[in-house]
Amino acid sequence: MKLKVIGALFFFPAILIYSCGEQDINFKRYYTTGNVVYTNKCQNCHGSDGQGLSALIPSLTDTVFLHKNKSLLPCFIKYGLKGKILIIGKKAYDGDMPPVDLSPIEIAEVLTYVGNSFGNNMGLISQEEVQKDLEKCRY
């Protein structure tokens, strides 16, 4: 009995540490690859610090906007934006965003990167989540 309790006492935290570690590693993997995707596909327009360009290209630092539109973000990336007015960081943007041809995993990675850089703190945005959101895109 004593042995079982002691065993459980050791075993339980071990599981916790293990699962936490896995999530952490997953996050890091997403974030690091997302950084590369961002540099190659997003940075020219949105800037190395997500600062955008005046009122032409929105910044990626509006945490409230990102949270509010979280499920639409994969659609914005995959299908681009045309003739839509968005208020981001208190400025109105009506320009077009070209579609970016990325796989769901790449979209998840780049969103995890953006969502946890430039002052944002959204945690992991998984491939499964992105896939679900993509099915609901209205295009």
Partner 1 sequence: MKKLIGALAILILASACKFNTQNDNALPIYGNRTPVPKTVDGKTVTDTIYQTIPDFKTVNQYGDSITSKNLDGKIYVADFFFTSCPSICPVMHRNMLNVYEAYKNDKNVTIISYTIDPKHDSVNVLKHYADKLGITGNTWWLLQGKKEEIFKLSESYLVRKPEEDAKQLFIHDGYFILVDKQKRIRGTYDGTVPDQVNHLIADIKTLKAEPDQQ
C-alpha 117/C-alpha 23 separation (Å) is 18
Q: Among 14, 53, 87, 137, indicate the residue that binds partner 1 (CB under 8 A).
A: 53
47 binds partner 1 (CB under 8 A): yes
56 binds partner 1 (CB under 8 A): yes
Angle value at C-alpha 29, between 134 and 120, nearest 5 degrees: 65
54 binds partner 1 (CB under 8 A): yes
How many residues line the site for partner 1 (CB under 8 A)?
11
49 binds partner 1 (CB under 8 A): no
- Any idea what DSSP says for residue 71? G
Three-state DSSP class for 99?
coil
45 binds partner 1 (CB under 8 A): yes
